[in-house]
Amino acid sequence: MDIDKLFKTHNVPTGGNKRKMPEPPNPEVLKRMRMASPERTEPPSNGPIPPSRQTKGPARVEIEDEDEDGEERDDGEFAPGGDADYFAEEDEEGRFYGGGLTGEQKQILDIFDHAQGEGAIDPENVTAPAVRRLSQRFERAANKNQDQRSKYPDDPTKFIDSEADLDAAIRSLVPLAQAPAVAYPELVKSGTVDRLVGLLAHENVDIVIAVVEVIHEMTDEDVGEEADEDEEDEQKKSETMKIMVNALVKSSALELLVQNLPRFNEAEEADRQGVFHTLGIFENMIGFDPPLSRALVSETSILKWLLERLQTKGYDDNKGYAAELVAIILQNNRENRLEYGKLDGVDMSLRVLAQYRKKDPAEGDETEFMENVFDALCSALAETEIKQLFVDAEGVELMVIMMKEKKVTHSRSIKVLDHALSGPAGTAGCEMFVDALGLKTLFSAFMGKGEKKKKAAASAGEDIAHILGIISSLFTNLASDSPARIRLLAKWVESDYEKVARLSEIRAHAQARLEVAEREIEQEKEDLESDGVEMGEDEEIVWYLRRLESGLDVLQLVDYIGAWISMEDDGVGQAEVFQARARMQELLREKGKSFEDMVKVLIKFHDNIDEEDEHDPQSDSPSQRVILEQLIPFLEAYG
């Protein structure tokens, strides 16, 4: 065996001047180091080396004799490839494999491991003293860097080493996220969190990015989940997370994070990740404490930045994340929705969505981005003020166009219109919808025209629920003597009342789904009674929500619309409307039902409508609850 060839050196390419984290050495580097220090005998300064990994200088191989077959035989010190642990490492069955490295090479790897892990902490062995040591190391690194930057502001060579040490000290805090119950109180008490947040104003953006990554890890919802946790551990984890989030808020982390967003150059990968992690911190903190979304919007300019980010050309992950965060911020928060309106968010969202009018999103992530913009718009439309802004921005017309195109936006546009036209505040939108020739497109979707044949099971899907919601809003909001209402009523007598038949078909399917759910709920009640469990209001609410999801919501809308069709006494002529009512009764009888069954559904519908949600002081139109109080007696009279 040629020993010189075994330890032959190779040319190793040198990198640039940019400071990088050390990388694991490759075999060529190891060989070069072997040749560069052949007489090294002392152990590295980080501690003693195990006997199996110590060497006494250049490796020597002496061939003493050969076996009967003429093959070389070692003297007990030689191993294939010079592997120092070949005879020490074996599997459960006694077979020897070794690690493929000589003792010298393993010694070098130990040195590298020690250099890269200096000051690091094992996530499984986090203790309060260890956390305090890391905090002190971080504090020293931060103070040294600040001191050198103050002394030599114009000479980066004087503080570049301290900056690298500070970066390492910041990143050494990441493992603490795996033991929040132990680490977080110590970090807050020692002032480490305050110092960490303060570094968000550091002159070096790379330091800011490192801080952002650490905070992102520490606020992640999965912190500490590597270990098995019981209910008590979860409670303790929740308490420590509250301590961390409160400390971040008090340290003005929200404001500093938002102020840093314009500093990042997203053309650079590191900065792009910085933006992504910043948005992740906001999502994490709002997920832990939803009311923080209001503080985030009221005390920072984050919503303005997000809306502007939505309008950038092309698609990327940060643009998608921005849309998701807007949708989260607008959930169940009236003040944030009104701010969205003040910042022209409705118009911005419509301009973003308009690009998908005639073309579908390019890929799955972009589809999710589009859906989040739609969802944000739907959330905002819960407010009366936003409904008017939507009409003024020609949102109704755009949604009607999207309904006609039959692209991916088809279903989403129907959902938006359902939200925009609902309630007394939706009157202007209903009138605009009819003027924009939306009735033809709406009833085409209602009948399933222009699509593949639908089975009965598909008739009570999400689209049909929103279509019924739009129709019910039109009946509620269009004035009885208006041309728009006459056009609506005329649709029900076309083609031998085919739309009335379709309504009856949808009702039958929803009723069948509901009956299955009712049987399941009754069985659950019996089981609870047999176990001696008392049922209260909470259980009734849960069961009512299950009924809604299992067809009751569709059934209520169908019967509301059917009651209107049967009650109308003007618009298209009394005789025709009477025939519509007669047709409705005939279809009900075929299913073994009558107006009495519709009355039962509408009474429950009436009782579960929230009067506060229905009340709109700016509108003179009657609420749905008031209308039901008129429809129910009419159906009872014809039952």
Average pLDDT for 203-223: 94
Chain length of the chain: 639
Tell me the C-alpha distance between 453 and 458, whole Å: 10
**Residue 114 — very low, low, confident or very high, per pLDDT cuts 50/70/90?**
very low
pLDDT recorded at residue 286: 95
The neighbouring-strand residues paired with 66 are 72
Going through 330-462 in order, the beta strands assigned E by DSSP cover none
Average pLDDT for 128-142: 93
**Residue 460 — very low, low, confident or very high, per pLDDT cuts 50/70/90?**
very low
Average pLDDT for 90-116: 52
pLDDT recorded at residue 211: 97
Share of the chain above pLDDT 90, in %: 61
pLDDT recorded at residue 65: 46
pLDDT recorded at residue 125: 72
Given a cut of 50, whether residue 453 has pLDDT beyond it is: no
pLDDT recorded at residue 23: 45
pLDDT recorded at residue 535: 83
**Cβ atoms 590, 623 nearer than 8 A:** no
Which residue has 């199996």 as its token pair? 52
**Cβ atoms 263, 272 nearer than 8 A:** no
**Residue 580 — very low, low, confident or very high, per pLDDT cuts 50/70/90?**
confident
CATH superfamily of domain region 124-300:
Leucine-rich Repeat Variant (1.25.10.10)
| Mean of all residue pLDDT scores within the chain | 81
More confident residue, 574 or 635: 635
Given a cut of 80, whether residue 450 has pLDDT beyond it is: no
pLDDT tens digit sequence for 621-634:
788 889 999 999 99
DSSP 551: I
Average pLDDT for 52-60: 37
The neighbouring-strand residues paired with 72 are 66
Average pLDDT for 187-196: 95
pLDDT recorded at residue 618: 61
DSSP 65: E
The neighbouring-strand residues paired with 302 are none
Given a cut of 60, whether residue 229 has pLDDT beyond it is: no
Given a cut of 60, whether residue 635 has pLDDT beyond it is: yes
Q: How does DSSP assign 311-378, residue by residue?
A: TSSS--HHHHHHHHHHHHHHTT-HHHHHHHHHTTHHHHHHHHHHTTSSS--SSHHHHHHHHHHHHHHH
pLDDT recorded at residue 637: 87
Average pLDDT for 71-81: 48
DSSP 96: B
pLDDT recorded at residue 11: 40
pTM of the model: 0.78
Average pLDDT for 357-363: 88
**Residue 559 — very low, low, confident or very high, per pLDDT cuts 50/70/90?**
very high
More confident residue, 506 or 2: 506
Average pLDDT for 70-93: 50
pLDDT recorded at residue 572: 52
Which residue has 């009067």 as its token pair? 611
Tell me the domain boundaries of the chain: 1-118, 124-300, 514-612+621-638
**Cβ atoms 399, 417 nearer than 8 A:** yes
pLDDT recorded at residue 612: 59
